[in-house]
Amino acid sequence: MGKRLLAVLLLLALALCTGAAAKAKGAPGVLLVIDAEARTLALCVDGERAALYPCAVGAPDTPTPLGVFTVSEKHTGWGGGFGAHFLRLSVPWGVYGIHGTNAPASVGLAVSHGCVRLRNADIEALFDKVPLGSRVLIERGPYGPLGSALRTLSPGDTGSDVAEVQARLIRKGYLLGEPDGRFGPYTRAAVRAFRRECGLPDGDAVDAAVYAALGVLLFE
């Protein structure tokens, strides 16, 4: 089965599940699907796409987080570079959200510090349609939280790929707690211990050898 077909099936499943759960509560199911590669944001209601907006996403050095999050806060009146509205996402390793912009020419580009920018008219149209707790799926490339490639990770890095590595280290017993997407001192110690146990050179980087030992393999 092709990678794109798998991605489409995943999106449909998430949309349908979200819609079914929300209907059980007597409210429409809302899912936002952000394609960071195509730089689009889709509003899905009860499993059907209701609107599609162009957006700006994070620059290569400050990427937009990948994964499934929820809308944890809604704010108005931020102004300036954030436009009139801000939808905060439940990203554990930083403050990220969907908002307007005072630089409309940036919409459609990869230029932000990780947030998703919409044209001000589009965030105005979207804001009241997205209740707190709505799911937000952000994807880029075929490999889920790993995006389109394996990034070498070092202490101080943050991101969905860090959270994926943490999850695997937790399952193998090298790390306690829950993934938070922050490559801090506990994750560093876990990586060093894992490298030693696997007979890899001393170090604290998550490189190709560590990914392979963790069973993270990209395939076509």
115 is catalytic: yes
* Annotated catalytic residue 75: no
Choose, from 44, 55, 85, 115, the residue flagged as catalytic: 115
The string of DSSP letters for the chain reads --HHHHHHHHHHHHHHHHHHHHHHTTS--EEEEEETTTTEEEEEETTEEEEEEE-BEE-TTSPPP-EEEEEEEEEE---GGG-SEEEEE--TTS--EEE--S-GGGTTSEEESSPEE--HHHHHHHHTTS-TT-EEEEE-SSSGGGTTS---B-TT-BSHHHHHHHHHHHHTTS--S---SB--HHHHHHHHHHHHHTTPPS-S-B-HHHHHHHT-----
Closest CA to 56 of 30, 19, 76, 81: 81
The pair phi, psi for residue 163, each rounded to 5°, is -60, -35
- Return the amino acid letter for 187: T
Q: Look up residue 103 and give its amino acid.
A: A
User: Of 44, 75, 99, 113, which is the active-site residue?
Assistant: 99
What are the residue numbers of the active site? 99, 115
